[in-house]
């Protein structure tokens, strides 16, 4: 599973002059993405049907135009029923075929693999954005240098505006 240290476009701009560190980090995360792919596929294989049931139940039973809280309630109830029922059926099928030792480990792997698949999909999108930004920055290094300078200028402007407004802004008690 990938962690939350994937390259974001801001990090690529921040590390503009240190190209080796950025390239090494993106290559390491890409290798981790390749290694994590089988685990993510295993998890998504077992997530597809319950996820479709949850999505269907949200569109069928929740009325977001009336009450937005219905969406989260419908998702939690449908998720508990769909994932619990589907994983239970898979566990019983594996138990009927291979018995206890295998079905126990299989049943324990299902929630973990589902979480791995969820986080993998989230982080792989972030990694793809970071690699695209890295590719663009390597093809146009002058633009990256200009972005670094513009970012530093913007940060200094925000900090000076914050310093100018801080003493003049009274905080009234009882109001955030």
Residue 169 lies in a domain: no
Q: Which two tokens stand for residue 106?
A: 């299989």
Answer yes or no: is 135 within a domain.
yes
| The model scores a pTM over 0.85 | no
* Residue ranges making up the domain that contains 152: 9-163
Q: How confident is the model at residue 5 (pLDDT cuts 50, 70, 90)?
A: very low
User: Could you tell me the CA-to-CA distances from 132 to 23, 49, 135 in Å, in that order?
Assistant: 12, 32, 5
Band of pLDDT at residue 103, cut at 50, 70 and 90? very high
Q: Is 176 a member of any domain? A: no
**Distance set, CA 53 to CA 43, 56, 101, 106, 124 (Å):** 16, 5, 30, 22, 24
Domain assignment present for residue 63? The answer is: yes
Instruction: Please count the structural domains in the chain.
Output: 1
Burial of 53 (0-12, 13-18, 19+ CB in 10 A): middle
Query: Which residues have C-beta within 8 Å of that of residue 77, sequence separation ≥ 6?
Result: 57
Domain assignment of residue 174, yes or no? no
Instruction: Kindly state whether residue 170 falls inside one of the protein's structural domains.
Output: no
pLDDT confidence of residue 171: 55
């Amino acid at each position: 599973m990938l962690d939350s240290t994937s390259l974001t476009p801001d990090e690529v701009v921040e590390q503009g002059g240190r190209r080796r560190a950025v390239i090494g980090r993106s290559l390491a995360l890409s290798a981790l993405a390749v290694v994590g792919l089988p685990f993510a596929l295993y998890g998504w294989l077992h997530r597809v049907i319950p996820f479709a049931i949850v999505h269907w139940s949200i569109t069928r039973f929740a009325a977001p135009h009336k009450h937005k809280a219905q969406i989260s309630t419908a998702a939690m109830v449908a998720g508990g029923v769909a994932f619990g029922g589907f994983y239970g059926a898979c566990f019983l099928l594996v138990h009927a075929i291979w018995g206890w030792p295998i079905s126990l480990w299989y049943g324990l792997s299902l929630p973990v693999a589902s979480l791995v698949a969820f986080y993998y999909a989230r982080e792989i999108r972030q990694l793809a954005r970071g690699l695209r930004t890295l590719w663009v920055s390597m093809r146009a290094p002058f633009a990256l240098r200009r972005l670094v300078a513009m970012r530093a200028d913007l940060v200094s402007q925000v900090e000076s505006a914050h310093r100018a407004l801080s003493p003049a802004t009274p905080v009234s008690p009882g109001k955030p």
